[in-house]
């Protein structure tokens, strides 16, 4: 494939709330999260994903005594007039796959929808994987993907009704993506869209005046987060490094796609911090790498 001979899907399970900001807004929420323009679904832009990968790999490699030049070899370098080259890693936006919602049958239930699963199917086709399934559900219905459910459940303040799933084979097909999920349902696109727009987490933040020990004037702000237990995924394509006269390996030869893939997946093997507010413990995610052949690795 033109953008990388080696390819993986990276699954992120948020341990803590994730803040990938989109700037300030003159609304009830001062600091909203990134959302797709056409769907308003939460996402993390590819630049933030790649930056997080680069930072995590750099710290890991440095800790293990690997030369700092390896980071530039794999992720590229920009800004130098005489020495620019593209990286050997192509990363897509991190897209939302399962969203945690309060429910009467469990502390929370993971929800997805036909449009999300159809998109996953198209993304997997880029990896050469054919997800042979079709997805359809009534506007006020739900289909169980994992776990046991009664005929009616409440999601936030919405009542949805169980549908017959005798012909649905999604549970086995989606098994690699439900590894850390205990209860999951597919709801309609309309219900899913409403939930991801209205059921995110919003936290109030203030700044303290050192002299008075009280809140500074006009310091109150409301910040939106993608909730903990959200599940996202992104695709990664690995190619040979593009550094001129590359000597990134001990044998002083160019790094090939399988070398790049192994180095990154080994460095980012269990966890990844993504988005802002790192010192507040935000954006910590468990990582699972899924290969086109179906093999899976990462945190357990």
For residue 96 the two structure tokens come to 């939302």
Percent of the chain with pLDDT over 70: 85
Q: Residue 17 and residue 280: Cα distance in Å, rounded?
A: 10
Nearest to 91 by CA among 47, 132, 150: 47
Band of residue 167 on the pLDDT scale cut at 50, 70, 90? very low
Residue 299 has pLDDT above 70, yes or no: no
Contact predicate 49/234, CB 8 Å? yes
pLDDT at residue number 282: 94
Q: Cβ contacts of residue 36 below 8 Å, gap of 6+?
A: 43
pLDDT at residue number 5: 76
Residue 169 has pLDDT above 90, yes or no: no
Residue 112 has pLDDT above 70, yes or no: yes
- The CA distances from residue 65 to 59, 68, 102, 293, in Å, are 10, 9, 45, 32
Which has the minimum average pLDDT: 108-112, 158-162, 250-254?
250-254
Residue 153 has pLDDT above 80, yes or no: yes
pLDDT at residue number 211: 79
pLDDT at residue number 251: 43
Residue keyed to tokens 């593209």: 86
Average pLDDT, the chain: 86
Which has the minimum average pLDDT: 37-46, 108-117, 215-224?
215-224
The residue among 146 and 213 whose pLDDT is bigger is 146
pLDDT at residue number 130: 86
The residue among 227 and 27 whose pLDDT is bigger is 227
pLDDT at residue number 7: 92
Residue 273 has pLDDT above 90, yes or no: yes
Residue 48 has pLDDT above 80, yes or no: yes
Q: What letter would DSSP give residue 152?
A: E
């Amino acid at each position: 494939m033109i953008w990388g001979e080696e390819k993986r899907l990276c699954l992120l399970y948020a341990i803590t709330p994730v803040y990938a900001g989109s700037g300030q807004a003159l609304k009830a929420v001062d600091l909203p999260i990134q959302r797709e323009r056409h769907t308003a679904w939460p996402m993390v832009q590819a630049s933030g994903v790649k930056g997080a990968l680069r930072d995590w790999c750099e710290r890991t490699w440095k800790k293990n005594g690997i030369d700092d030049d390896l980071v530039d070899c794999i992720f590229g370098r920009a800004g130098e007039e005489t020495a620019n080259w593209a990286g050997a890693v192509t990363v897509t936006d991190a897209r939302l796959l399962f969203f945690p919602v309060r429910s009467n049958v469990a502390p929370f239930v993971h929800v997805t929808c036909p449009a999300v699963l159809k998109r996953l199917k198209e993304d997997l086709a880029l990896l050469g994987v054919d997800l042979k399934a079709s997805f359809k559900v009534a506007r006020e219905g739900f289909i169980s993907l994992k776990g046991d459910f009664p005929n009616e459940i409440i999601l936030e303040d919405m009542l949805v009704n169980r549908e017959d799933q005798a012909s649905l084979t999604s549970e086995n097909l989606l098994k690699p993506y439900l590894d850390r999920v205990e209860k999951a349902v597919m709801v309609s696109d309309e219900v899913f869209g409403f939930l991801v727009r209205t059921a995110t987490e919003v936290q109030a933040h203030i700044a303290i005046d050192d002299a008075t020990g009280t809140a500074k004037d006009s310091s109150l702000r409301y910040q939106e987060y993608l909730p903990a237990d959200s599940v996202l995924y992104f695709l990664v394509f690995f190619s040979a490094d593009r550094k001129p006269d590359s000597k990134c390996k001990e044998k002083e030869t160019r790094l090939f796609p399988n070398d790049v893939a192994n180095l990154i997946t080994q460095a980012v093997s269990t966890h990844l911090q993504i988005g802002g507010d790192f010192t507040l413990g935000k954006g910590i995610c468990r990582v699972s790498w899924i290969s086109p052949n179906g093999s899976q690795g990462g945190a357990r």
